[in-house]
Homo-oligomer: A and B are copies of this chain.
């Protein structure tokens, strides 16, 4: 039903803000033809500024063959902006009535096999697609700021989204150089923001209680969890740190620590089912890799990151 995502060459990016501009820059850097829809010509200068900032970083990261800022077209008429689009990334303002009206219009104009990905962080696709006549192809494709640098895109449909469209979006974003995460459920904050928000609220509690300053919070994160977390997420970090026993040892041995007041967030009950999901999940990620090899790879990556940061800070 949907065309092969590898055949996509023309993308329309809607929105003149940092997210819309960031997406436009990213797609241009991956070698796509990009049409940017701005609401008003008065937004052009700010849009170019975002684009140029992003382009510098993207050039340093390495452009795809044929990638060029010349392949950008800026349009302020919506119908014209959607002409020929094979994929649409929507980063309009985060107001439901604006998005609903936009999706109603796009639903009429765009062929039904053109997938639309929304950058929304605070709305659900079930809400956004409510007034769209062709809601099956509408998904959320939520980036992480800055969107031209961070690879994550969280993908989830709404009540009326076709499962095929979600799968298609996952494949498309991967081809387009992103790290797609196909979500299991439509939940507020998706996955990454929920994790970040838990950390953030614990930080606010600590500052409110005089336990830490904002500077302390940042020193702790930048020099503690972060350089490891670029190499291993928290699940694999614990899995590998526990040696041969992995996540099973972590939960069976240190499970009681989940009751300790190490954060204000209460842990869920560590049921057998949760324990097994965590253990099986980590074993699946590890595959046939030995924990010592994974630890060595982690260390190589941390060393590379620390060296790169040192140089970037000196330079």
Residues of A within 8 A of B (CB): 53, 56-57, 60-61, 122, 144-146, 149-152, 154, 179, 181, 183-185, 187-236, 238, 241, 247, 257-258, 260-271, 273-274, 277-278, 281-282, 284-285, 295-309, 311-313, 315
Contacts and interface: CB of A to CB of B under 8 A. Distances in A.
A274 B195 contact: no
B198 A201 contact: yes
B234 A211 contact: no
Given A149-B299, A281-B215, A195 B221 contact: yes
B233 A218 contact: yes
Contacts of A220: 152, 154, 181, 190-192, 195, 233
Contacts of A151: 223, 227, 306
22 contacts: A57-B302, A57-B303, A60-B303, A144-B224, A149-B306, A151-B306, A152-B220, A181-B216, A187-B211, A191-B217, A196-B234, A198-B265, A201-B258, A201-B268, A202-B265, A205-B268, A214-B281, A214-B282, A214-B284, A221-B229, A300-B312, A308-B308
Contacts of A295: 53, 146
Q: 8 tightest CB-CB pairs across the interface, nearest first? A: A218-B233, A214-B281, A189-B262, A308-B308, A192-B224, A198-B202, A152-B223, A152-B224
A201 to B, nearest CB: 4
B219 A309 contact: no
Contact of A232 (B218, B224, B313): B218
Contacts of A221: 192, 195, 229, 233-234
A215 B183 CA distance: 11
B207 A61 contact: no
B278 A207 contact: yes
Contacts of A190: 220
A263 B197 contact: yes
Nearest to A254: B122
B262 A265 contact: no
A210 to B, nearest CB: 6
A236 B197 CA distance: 15
